[in-house]
Chains A and B, each alone.
Chain A
Amino acid sequence: MSEKTFGAGPAVPVSLPQFTPIARSRRFHVERTLGVGLTLLGIVVLIAIAAPLLTQYDPLEQHFTEAFLPPFSPDHILGTDNFGRDIWSRIAYSTRLDLQIGLLSVTFPFVFGSLVGIATGYLGGKLDTLLMRVVDVLMAFPFLILVIAIMSILGPGLTNLYIAVGAVGWIPYARITRGETLATRHLEYVLAARTIGCSSARIMLQHILPNVIAPALIYVFTGMVLAILTGATLSFLGLGPQPPTPEWGAMIAEGRQFLLLAWWMTTLPGLALLVVGVALSLIGDGLAERRGG
């Protein structure tokens, strides 16, 4: 795989650096992208925090007499599922879990990947060659299949999901920071730091890191979309958090058997996933475009 290719891996918006100057009229557009994204994400976070205040129902509480109520029923705004559980309550509580999945799944990859990328980019030599070969090997696997294979050994569950996604997810961060570091290491301020006798560790952490971390930080939003979608996919396939825990992917899977009877059971949790995905993508795009301009 040639080292400049960016597009490998799952379909997520990898924002390439913009080489063309952004016209003044586009600045408004960029700010709007960012603004819409932040607003949407704000609403989602608020729902996650205030879930108990927004609904009077326990997401796990079953009422068999009230099963399959359609949306806009008097007491259940988004209807109920086959166990008579309130769907709005399940979606709202599941927001917590899915945001947690997004956040925790990117933490380790971001920290580890960025440090590895900076170290190999700055130190170069055998270490760098080794990293690039490891990256080549891991990128040969379709992301989802490798994650599924790891989960098949570790077994289903949330912790194992983090481990599986983390084991593969650090690669983009390492590639991004490595590339940036390669472009930075010969700049004057780095040479100056080296001349006055700074240690390699100090140069990497204090001088290089602050200058190369921004693109990796922007990629975090793409990474979160990917992590949340992967989490939902795995729990759709029965490999994620186990029932009756409310999780969007699992809710979609549960609703599948009742597709004609209760379309809302599958449709609504998917919309929730979509909103979070769009919010995070817009923020990522907005930040990338702003940085480019």
Chain B
Amino acid sequence: MGRAAYIRRRLILMAFVLFGVTIVIFGMVRILPGDPAFLILGDRATDQKAAELREQLGLNRPILEQYWNFVSGFAHGDMGQSLLYRQPVGDLVLTRVPVTLTLSAYAMGLAAVITLTFGILAAINKGRWPDQLIRVGFLFALTTPNFWFGILLILLFGLTLHWFPVAGFGETVPQHLWYLFLPALTLALQLSAVLIRNLRGQIVLTMRSDYIRTAHAKGLSERLVLLRHVLRNALLSTVTIFGLQFGFLVGGAIVVETVFALPGTGQLLIQSITARDYPVVQAITVVSAVLVIVVNLAVDLSYSFLDPRVTYE
């Protein structure tokens, strides 16, 4: 299969996955026994309120029509009305998305720096104490609950040392970077824990290959071999995992935003759940899934350009 055919296949698959995603979200509230209107209203439910909500959400129409309205609404950016804020869900979510995206991108940047530094350090000291130390340290990072770690950072760097603000997003770009440093670091450490394992393994594996021995034999410096020859190949697989972890990053951002009181989608999601604002929950779930799908596609495609040896299965 050539690259064009591969890309075409991936796009068809993506369309299918998008279709599945809408089915899951659409079906979620309807698959359960009982009246969704009562389910959403919870203890606030009265017959009249339920009837109003059914009308508003279109729950009293035929199921196929409901699904069509749901999908075409999303395609047009119309995701219904928020039950809590009484304003269009689309506007509500879109004002929050930039915060979450900035946080995720920042975390990815920090994670890249941390991964490169410690992954290389561990690999060139394979088996010696820096390697062991990094292994143990990031094992802890991997199993540390991120909300707890975030709180510890607030306690230490915010409340005690006063180096960083403990909540909010700031106004200007430098302020954003300053306000978001601790939350981004919280996410980045956990993300790096996964990536460092991979990068270290890949570097160690690559160092054994023949062309590296050749590079050494022709007298290239250790540094040059590492940067030009080893890293370029070792990084390929790490980049793929990096992309695949995007979903994890978005999920983590939800929690970390709550901890650092950032006005992003995470905070909105938690708020909406408590208020049983189902249209908002639905919209955020779909938007996050779409983000993950797009990023994964981008990674897969870029991978096929980065590595000429890649075969399209």
Residues of A within 8 A of B (CB): 1-3, 5, 7-13, 16, 19-20, 133-134, 136-146, 148-155, 225, 229, 232-233, 236-239, 249, 252, 256, 259-260, 263, 266-267, 269-270, 273-274, 277-278, 280-282
Contact = CB atoms under 8 A, between A and B. Distances in A.
Given A7-B245, A152-B273, A145 B159 contact: no
Given A13-B197, A141-B288, A270-B145, 20 more contacts: A2-B300, A11-B190, A11-B191, A11-B248, A13-B139, A13-B142, A136-B16, A141-B24, A141-B285, A142-B247, A145-B250, A152-B272, A237-B258, A252-B147, A252-B151, A260-B155, A269-B148, A270-B148, A273-B143, A277-B143
Contacts of B235: none
A93 B13 CA distance: 48
Nearest to A5: B244
Contacts of B197: 13
Interface stretch (B64-72, B73-81, B171-179, B274-282): B274-282
Contacts of A233: 145-147, 255
Given A10-B251, A252-B151, A138 B24 contact: yes
A267 B155 CA distance: 10
B292 interface: yes
A259 B151 contact: yes
Given A149-B281, A270-B145, A141 B151 contact: no
Contact of A20 (B13, B20, B191, B205): B205
A148 B269 contact: yes
Contact of B17 (A9, A10, A137): A137
A89 B258 CA distance: 28
Nearest to B28: A153
Given A7-B240, A11-B194, A136-B13, A146 B285 contact: yes
Main secondary structure of the interface of A (DSSP, over half): helix
A145 B254 contact: yes
A151 B155 contact: no
A232 B28 CA distance: 24
Nearest to B147: A236
Given A140-B292, A259-B155, A148 B254 contact: yes
Contacts of B152: 266-267, 270
Going nearest first, the 7 A-B pairs with the smallest beta carbon separation are A277-B143, A137-B20, A144-B251, A270-B148, A142-B251, A7-B241, A142-B247
13 contacts: A1-B300, A10-B248, A12-B194, A141-B24, A141-B288, A142-B248, A145-B254, A155-B42, A229-B145, A233-B147, A256-B151, A259-B154, A277-B144
A133 B16 contact: yes
Interface of B: 13, 16-17, 20-21, 23-25, 28-29, 32, 39, 42, 139-140, 142-149, 151-152, 154-155, 159, 190-191, 193-194, 197-198, 201, 205, 240-241, 244-245, 247-248, 250-252, 254-255, 258, 269-270, 272-274, 276, 278, 281-282, 284-285, 288-289, 292-293, 296, 300, 313
Contacts, number: 178
A4 B126 CA distance: 27
B139 A281 contact: yes
A1 B143 contact: no
B251 A143 contact: yes
A144 B255 contact: yes
B248 A143 contact: yes
Given A145-B284, A259-B155, A266-B148, A225 B143 contact: yes
B120 to A, nearest CB: 19
B248 A152 contact: no
A232 B205 CA distance: 37
A149 B274 CA distance: 11
A256 B292 CA distance: 31
A209 B250 CA distance: 36
Nearest to B277: A152
A20 B313 CA distance: 25
Contacts of A19: 205
B289 A140 contact: yes
A168 B98 CA distance: 28
Contacts of A141: 21, 24, 247, 285, 288-289, 292
- Among the interface residues B23, B25, B273, B313, which one has the most CB atoms of the partner chain A within 10 A? B273
Contacts of A282: 139
A136 B9 CA distance: 14
B143 A278 contact: yes
A252 B148 contact: yes
A140 B293 contact: yes
Contacts of B159: 259-260
B288 A153 contact: no
B33 to A, nearest CB: 12
Contact of A137 (B21, B146, B273): B21
A237 B142 contact: no
B255 A149 contact: no
Nearest to A239: B273
A154 to B, nearest CB: 8
- Among the interface residues A2, A19, A141, A269, which one has the most CB atoms of the partner chain B within 10 A? A141
B142 A11 contact: yes
B155 A263 contact: yes
